[in-house]
Structure 1
Amino acid sequence: MIQKLTKLRVLLNNNCSELKGMPRGIGKVVSLQELSVFVIGKQDRVEHCASISELAHLKLVGKLEINGLGNVTSPVDAKAANLIEKNLRSLKLVWNVLSGEEGMDTVLPAEEIDTVLENLQPHQKLENLKLEGYARGKFPSWMMNRIGSCLPNLVEIQLANIPRCSSLPPLGQLPFLKELTVRNMPAITNLGVDKFPALRSLELSCMPVLREWVTVLTVDDEEGRRERVPIFPCLTHLYLKECPKLRPEPCLPASVGFLTISGTSSGNLSLILERATPLDDGGDAADSLQPPPNKELWDLTIEKCQQLTCLPESLRSLTSLRYMTIKDCEDLERIEDWLGELADLRLLEIWGCSSLRYHKMTALEELEIKDCPLLLDADGQFVDTSVDHIKYVTVNESEYEYRKQASSSPQQEKSSPEEEESSPKEEEKKSWTKNAVCHN
């Protein structure tokens, strides 16, 4: 009987993947202060499993994940859990997700599912909120109408596997929000025009009809003059994954330094990169109202892009690039010589590009190749390509054997693992992130 553990303060059960429910009586362990996961059991096991209402008298702090919310048998039980009085820093709410369009596995009628989430309003001091598997068509009022007053201290929010909601909560009302992840919300078509004053990291993933993404507003000031207002003035990390129709308007946020584009077509990849490109000086009046171009993008990852046989020309103008990774672009056949014009490019990583033939780039300091068989001959040497000018070369996660044999200078030898606890790239990334300036 778990209620006999009267002095239990911490229960870390987050690695119990086979846990089907919490033992009845856990609500009587009133000394419990930290609980990793509360699993709500299925209805056919209800006589053995605790109801969510057993959270009522537990004075929990720190992090809490509640799994199996589809097994809640009454909105009254959700209200009794009394989350609004628990001084949690992080809360994750997870429903029983089914495949395809089946939505949630739940024992309640639709309108009562809405009430369950309405009754799970967290404490005002919450900093991290994650919702996963919620398959109803609207968010609760504490997210849609009152999020700025109900959750004013939110720093991070993740919304995942929410198939029916067609609009996001007004997240721009959160003055301290720094990280936002929106994943697998296939009904979302636009991101709205809320300003995110503190947002540093944005991930948009698996959103097939998301098209409109306004990044700058043009407004009239008090004297009637038009001025640009960036919606994401502090955004530094941007991840766009499997959003094949996404169009940043009019351009990517100027503060972005790290960009990942994954799972899109070659045409959409080219369009997105064009909108990270400096504008021509000879633009007309309309062009002059566009925001300043992105001059800070220095780390770019391109992965799983369909029918990408060569890199888009729009890359040529990204003159600040220092690090570039190309992964799992199986149709990529060549890297044009003009990539060598990017004088600041120091590290190129190419993984899983089975059709690729490599071309020399003079400015590189480091080259990493993995699973690109056409680049090497049967003896493991590069085909028609010299890498002698590149300081560090690794092939399939090992130092390039022929380069190692040819190098007799100690300066050309790669540092030992002990000396590489933090690579130059990682050190530069930390420094850049720390000192990044918002573009207000």
Structure 2
Amino acid sequence: MSLNLDPQQDISWDIIKRYSAFEDRSDKQQLEVIGQEIATKCGGVPLAARALGYTLRPKTADRWLALNNSKIWDECSSQEISSVLPSLKLSYDNMQSYLQTCFAYCAIFPKGSNIEKDDLIHQWITLGYVEPHGIFSVTQNAEDYTSQKDDKVVTLTMHDIAHDIARSVIDDELIVLDGWNDSRVFLQVIKLNYLSLDGSPEMSKLPESIARLEALTCLKLSGCSQLLELPESFGKLKYMEHLNLSACSQLSFGYLESLTRLNLSACSVVLELPESFRKLKNLEHLDLSNFTNVKDVFENFGGLYSRYGTQLYGRRRLPEALGNLSKLQYLDLSLEISNLQMGKEASQVRLGWVMRAKSGLNSNFLGSLTELKYLNLSEHLDLSGNLYLSNLTECVGNLKKLRTLDLSNCFHLKNLPESLSEINCLKSLNVTGCRELESVISRSQIHQNLVLLPNFVVQAGDRELGSNIFLLQDVNPVELQISCLENVQSAGEVKRIKLLQKTSISKLTLDWTRHAKRFTNDMNILGELMPPINFRQFELRGYSYVHLPGWLTCISSYLPNLVQIVMDEIPSCGNLPPLGQLQNLKELTLRRMPRISIIDGDLCGGGRAFPQLIKFTLDSMESLEEWRTSYEDHGHKFTRIGHIALPQVKVEAMGTYLQWKISNSDNVVRSCGEGQYSSASSSSSTTTLDVEHCKVPLDHWRLLCHLPALHELRIYECDNLTCSSPEIIQSLSSLKLMTVESQGMEELPAGLCELKSLPTLILWKCLKLKSLPQSMKHLTSLQPLWLVSCASMTLLPECLGNLTSLLELNINNCPHLKFLPESIQVLPMLEVVKISDCPELKRWCEIGENKMKLAHIRKKPFALVI
């Protein structure tokens, strides 16, 4: 038995089922109606459904019934609050006491703020909120509290409603200071154990009375750039465990020997690290990222090398400086320097869980690191963004506990060591942006269970074992592309990877190979590949089923944070999801969807459609006959779109676009405005138009007659630019810039030279153009003239002297142009002549008598650039 739910309620029920693991329950049949009734109370708000799903997951059937009958549903009246607030309050009431404490603590963060998960976990631990129980460490237990069970640091967001709940249960214990007053505030809160003064630019000094906060264990002073003095009493906070001095100008550690976590990132004006730093023997987490005053970092840490290999200050080596930090588990050395070297004198340095070293580390640095006594305990090594790292040495094979290796954006990395295949624990390797590694990876002997990121290729396996997609279970990257999805043999295989829980993912691409044999239909697979709610970029390629799964047809409820969507090569689907209801969507591309013949109001999906869309690309939509850009029933016109690429399609009404890009679209440039053309178009504010691969003569580009505000016209590879139409010429009177690129054009049409008010002309890659026509003399308003990569050009006409407004002549990569016309001497306004990659012309300019012809150029001596 089941209830008849409306679409929004059905979405809520689907979300509850997913987050409560409903399908895995043995009593799901008796719980279905109860669960559906609960779904009707969520108001179609995904956050409410998610919260209830998590709450219901461990509950027995009688607890499901009790929650459904709770009186809390009657406590609020407004539409959103009545669904979300009770749901979250019920979730809070059903939490264990230690979870309630951790949740309530989050009230200290402002609404909408981003919270680093790792930092939040350590604050909980420092404050004693995480209970040690079971066989797991407190850190692992705290990971469970966040529901973000991944080793990579992710960002959490404080939802407005969640903040209201947290504040409602902690108000008596929370003190909010709107400004920095004086030391008296401390007299009232001497039992305080957490204090945050983040980003208080008006604060120049901490009062001596801070020593009264004897219970203080966590202090955040990040961004206090005007903090010029730390009192001596600061060093007496002997219970301090967590200290954030990011972007501060003063450092002091005194007797803070209990300190376990220290953030010194972006302390760019700090002159030196105090000697007391060496006393922090309990330090487990040290963040020195973007500590840009490298001179003083070098002086204190020694043995490091500058960008040019020059040794700076002191002979102490980094392992020596860290020698007393025997409990160190996390070290971030993301310094903007090119060559770091560390001595081989390994001390008791433990880099146990994460070691991050970015931006300019070489292989010698790695070789030294691997000799540190405890580095072989490292599970995660982040070397991303090292522009100077060209080789990864075999010493990496010593890291036997390594699980993830991030080499993303190491642009010059050319090899992977053979020893990498000997690390049996290694599960994922991120080579995003490593162009030099592409051929190496294809030949490498890396063991078969290693996940290459971001592009994971699904491989079909034994029928009983299924494909290798199960390898994605243990990874949670920022970017993920899953290719060859046709090799997945059952929806159950996809369900195992739990994509919904991979909350680090920001960009996801799902790709099937066109025409490849399938083991199961694509909808079964895609239905189980619902992404996490917070991700932002989505690309769907090669999907071949007629219909889309529910999470796509109701996409705004499931993925409200999307900002970019690409749907490409989808041959069978004839309907578009209501993408207009994605309130954050900025870029949309629809490409190669032959079943789509009309784009109309279904794409908007209702009112307030596409409020932030600025780029809309329609490409190779061979069957598209009509695009209705104005839908009265939805009260929407595409007025905010800033960039549009159109295929061969008749446009009903133009709207007020800022920029158009028209490719292979003869119907658009020829017939726009005919018949159904809207009067709204006469006020079109389009300022930029790109036209590509158009076969219609310029004489017939009637679209130009409806763009009164057009300032830039860029024409690429159009067959016929002949124009004798006064109407077309007049429509271009407001033009400020024209760019023409045509590899086949042998002569610049005379009609283009009738644009007497045109101030800027760029001729780009006109490979067969040998000269400029005499009609150029009509371009009397021309100021800059650019001739770029016109490989056949041998002559500039004497009529160039008629261009009396010419200020700049820029000639680039015209190898057969041998001289400038004599009339160059009579151009009264000429200020700059730039000549590059023109060897013949360069030699002409260097002859003494020719230099005299250019002597009148106003800006000297830098006006002539050759």
Q: Structure 1 length as normaliser, TM-score?
A: 0.74
Residue of structure 2 equivalent to 1:196: 610
Letter in 2 for 1:40: V
Residue of structure 1 equivalent to 2:579: 171
Give the deviation of 1:7 after TM superposition.
4.4
Q: 2-side partners of 1:181 and 1:198: how far apart?
A: 15
1:354–1:273 distance in 2 versus 1, CA, 3 Å: farther
Residue of structure 2 equivalent to 1:351: 741
Q: 1-side partners of 2:616 and 2:789: how far apart?
A: 30
Superposed CA deviations along residues 358-382 of structure 1, whole A, max 9, x for unmatched, are 33211111112245578x6x5x342
Give the deviation of 1:163 after TM superposition.
0.9
Pick one of 784, 793, 797 that aligns with 1:392: 784
1:17–1:276 distance in 2 versus 1, CA, 3 Å: farther
Pick one of 671, 687, 693 that aligns with 1:271: 671
Instruction: Answer whether contact 1:53 1:80 (CA < 8 A) is retained.
Output: yes
Q: 1-side partners of 2:496 and 2:688: how far apart?
A: 48
Q: 1-side partners of 2:727 and 2:628: how far apart?
A: 31
Letter in 1 for 2:567: L
2:362 is aligned with 1:362: no
Instruction: Answer whether contact 1:340 1:362 (CA < 8 A) is retained.
Output: no
Give the deviation of 1:235 after TM superposition.
1.3
Alignment of 1:244-263 (within 5 A): 244=648, 246-249=649-652, 251-254=653-656, 256-263=657-664
Instruction: Answer whether contact 1:163 1:186 (CA < 8 A) is retained.
Output: yes
Give the deviation of 1:124 after TM superposition.
0.5
In the alignment, structure 2 segments of 5+ residues that lack a partner are: 1-396, 407-428, 791-809, 812-819, 837-866
Instruction: Answer whether contact 1:252 1:275 (CA < 8 A) is retained.
Output: no
Residue of structure 2 equivalent to 1:82: 498
SS in 1 for 2:538: strand
Instruction: Answer whether contact 1:198 1:233 (CA < 8 A) is retained.
Output: no
SS in 2 for 1:70: helix
SS in 2 for 1:310: helix
| Worse overlay, 16-25 or 337-346 | 16-25
Q: 1-side partners of 2:761 and 2:619: how far apart?
A: 29
2:630 is aligned with 1:206: no
Letter in 2 for 1:236: G
Q: 2-side partners of 1:188 and 1:397: how far apart?
A: 40
Instruction: Answer whether contact 2:670 2:703 (CA < 8 A) is retained.
Output: yes
Pick one of 100, 107, 114 that aligns with 2:523: 114
Residue of structure 1 equivalent to 2:688: 299
1:393–1:233 distance in 2 versus 1, CA, 3 Å: closer
Alignment of 1:390-429 (within 5 A): 390-397=782-789, 399=810, 401-402=820-821, 405-406=824-825, 411-413=830-832
Alignment of 1:58-73 (within 5 A): 58=475, 60-73=476-489
Instruction: Answer whether contact 2:546 2:574 (CA < 8 A) is retained.
Output: yes
Give the deviation of 1:324 after TM superposition.
0.3
Q: 2-side partners of 1:276 and 1:347: how far apart?
A: 30
1:55–1:317 distance in 2 versus 1, CA, 3 Å: closer
Pick one of 427, 436, 450 that aligns with 1:26: 450
Q: Structure 2 length as normaliser, TM-score?
A: 0.39
Instruction: Answer whether contact 1:68 1:96 (CA < 8 A) is retained.
Output: yes
2:570 is aligned with 1:162: yes
Instruction: Answer whether contact 1:86 1:123 (CA < 8 A) is retained.
Output: yes
Give the deviation of 1:311 after TM superposition.
4.3
Q: 2-side partners of 1:384 and 1:298: how far apart?
A: 27
SS in 2 for 1:116: helix
Q: 1-side partners of 2:402 and 2:823: how far apart?
A: 64
SS in 1 for 2:551: helix
Q: 2-side partners of 1:150 and 1:409: how far apart?
A: 65
Give the deviation of 1:272 after TM superposition.
2.6
1:152–1:95 distance in 2 versus 1, CA, 3 Å: same
Instruction: Answer whether contact 1:277 1:317 (CA < 8 A) is retained.
Output: no
1:165–1:122 distance in 2 versus 1, CA, 3 Å: same
Instruction: Answer whether contact 1:196 1:231 (CA < 8 A) is retained.
Output: no
Residue of structure 2 equivalent to 1:135: 544
Q: 2-side partners of 1:343 and 1:274: how far apart?
A: 22
Give the deviation of 1:231 after TM superposition.
3.5
Residue of structure 2 equivalent to 1:427: none
Percent identity (aligned): 24
Q: 1-side partners of 2:708 and 2:544: how far apart?
A: 44
Alignment of 1:310-321 (within 5 A): 310-321=699-710
Residue of structure 1 equivalent to 2:280: none
Q: 2-side partners of 1:325 and 1:277: how far apart?
A: 24
1:408–1:192 distance in 2 versus 1, CA, 3 Å: closer
1:172–1:384 distance in 2 versus 1, CA, 3 Å: closer
Q: 1-side partners of 2:513 and 2:701: how far apart?
A: 42
Instruction: Answer whether contact 2:685 2:708 (CA < 8 A) is retained.
Output: no
Instruction: Answer whether contact 2:467 2:489 (CA < 8 A) is retained.
Output: no
Q: 1-side partners of 2:535 and 2:659: how far apart?
A: 28
Q: 2-side partners of 1:268 and 1:373: how far apart?
A: 28
Instruction: Answer whether contact 1:175 1:197 (CA < 8 A) is retained.
Output: yes
In the alignment, structure 1 segments of 5+ residues that lack a partner are: 28-33, 98-102, 220-227, 280-290, 418-440
Superposed CA deviations along residues 230-266 of structure 1, whole A, max 9, x for unmatched, are 23232121111xx22x2322x1122x1110111122x
Residue of structure 1 equivalent to 2:404: 8
Residue of structure 2 equivalent to 1:426: none
Give the deviation of 1:305 after TM superposition.
1.3
2:630 is aligned with 1:216: yes
Pick one of 464, 471, 493 that aligns with 1:54: 471
Q: 2-side partners of 1:23 and 1:248: how far apart?
A: 54
Aligned length: 372
Which has the larger helix fraction?
Answer: 2
Q: 1-side partners of 2:738 and 2:636: how far apart?
A: 31
Q: 2-side partners of 1:3 and 1:69: how far apart?
A: 33
Q: 2-side partners of 1:192 and 1:2: how far apart?
A: 60
Q: 2-side partners of 1:253 and 1:42: how far apart?
A: 49
Give the deviation of 1:106 after TM superposition.
3.2
SS in 2 for 1:166: coil
Letter in 1 for 2:755: M
Which has the larger strand fraction?
Answer: 1
Q: 1-side partners of 2:707 and 2:599: how far apart?
A: 26
Q: 2-side partners of 1:5 and 1:364: how far apart?
A: 67
